[in-house]
Amino acid sequence: MTSADARTVIGVRTPSAEYEVEIGAGLVELVGARLDALLGGGLKAGKQRAFVVTSPEIDRLWGGKLEGGFPAPLTRLMVPAGEEHKRLATVERLTEELAGLGADRDSVLVALGGGVIGDMTGFVAAMYMRGIRYVGVPTTALAQVDSSLGGKTGVNLAAGKNLVGAFHHPLAVYADIRTLGTLPAEELRAGLQESVKAGIIRDRGLFEFLESESAAVLSGDAEALTRVVAASVRVKAEVVSADEREGGLRMILNLGHTLGHAIEAATGYKQLLHGEAVAWGMVAAVGIAKRRGTVTSEEAERMERVIRAYGPLRGFTAEASELVALTAKDKKNRSGARSFVLPVGIGDAVVVKDVGEAELMVAASAIVGEARGVGA
């Protein structure tokens, strides 16, 4: 990549779907033309309709630019911002609205927003009329580097995160780097924790870039961010292409998520952003790996230093015993055994099923104790 204006296209190839993720600046205005080409001119001919699912805040920033690239006015379906709205009740409302607007099996949804919007839009697309198409236009770092591709869609239950969902891949994903410039600093940092994760589990070069160029990345430098997003997407695309349905390899993408999801559930999704919770979960996982000797002390210190560089890690209030209990409800568990991702070096990770409650209590107690001493 030679400039911030360059665009990168990464293919995702799975047994059930093939699509492309395009990354670069100035993509929002091009989505309409790109989508119409994918549909064979159906939008321009008036034979097919596009419906945008977004939040009021994102619509004010980017809705007009998106609509300007479409051949006809867009119908918007609004979802309030916040993880608390990622529930089945919202899915029911959206599908009722689609039905009332006359959406049919040839209609296409456009997910304009962050991870919550993307997960819900994909799930609505999977459920409505037993499956319609959708494209992703992720506007947050978290969505661009991770949640917008891979086909995992869903919503939360009171019992845990993403416990209801479906595998349903998008037609395409368009990640416009400019949208990251409108994010609050804490959201950019939280989203980039998923890139740190990608570096730890699969891409040593990405990890080292995040380590050495943190100032450029965190300042919002477009070229640095484009490189980070593209490398993160490549990691996920490679893993998903090899293991579409999370039968084995794909589970490494969950580094930090087992305790991260438990933290979110224990705090009612109100104290931390998703990436912040994952960061705490990664600190705990690195600690377990260090105690087990699967990583050296030097590697563990480097990993933790980079995780914290993309912080600061905000505090939260929870009991270690509650976090451990919640990990037993994690959707990745099989036959009653906890599945847990541990690094085995910078750029490599494994899934283990022998992390017991006592070992988890040590790790959870360490982060809970530290979090209590940190201002939220």
Active site residues: 130, 152, 194, 236, 246, 250, 254, 257, 261, 274
User: Which residues have C-beta within 8 Å of that of residue 241, sequence separation ≥ 6?
Assistant: 12, 13, 14
- Distance CA(122)–CA(334), nearest Å, equals 25
- Distance CA(18)–CA(174), nearest Å, equals 15
- Distance CA(64)–CA(1), nearest Å, equals 29
- Distance CA(339)–CA(353), nearest Å, equals 5
Contact 154/164 with Cβ under 8 angstroms? yes
Q: CA-based angle 139:143:148, to the nearest 5?
A: 110
**Residue among 88, 120, 127, 122 at smallest CA distance from 105:** 127
User: What is the DSSP pairing of strand 8-13 with strand 172-176?
Assistant: unpaired
45: three-class secondary structure by DSSP:
coil
ω into residue 71 within 30 of 0, thus cis? Answer: no
Contact 194/280 with Cβ under 8 angstroms? no
- Distance CA(278)–CA(141), nearest Å, equals 14
Q: What's the Cα-to-Cα distance from 221 to each of 139, 226, 228, 288, rounded to whole Å? A: 16, 9, 11, 34
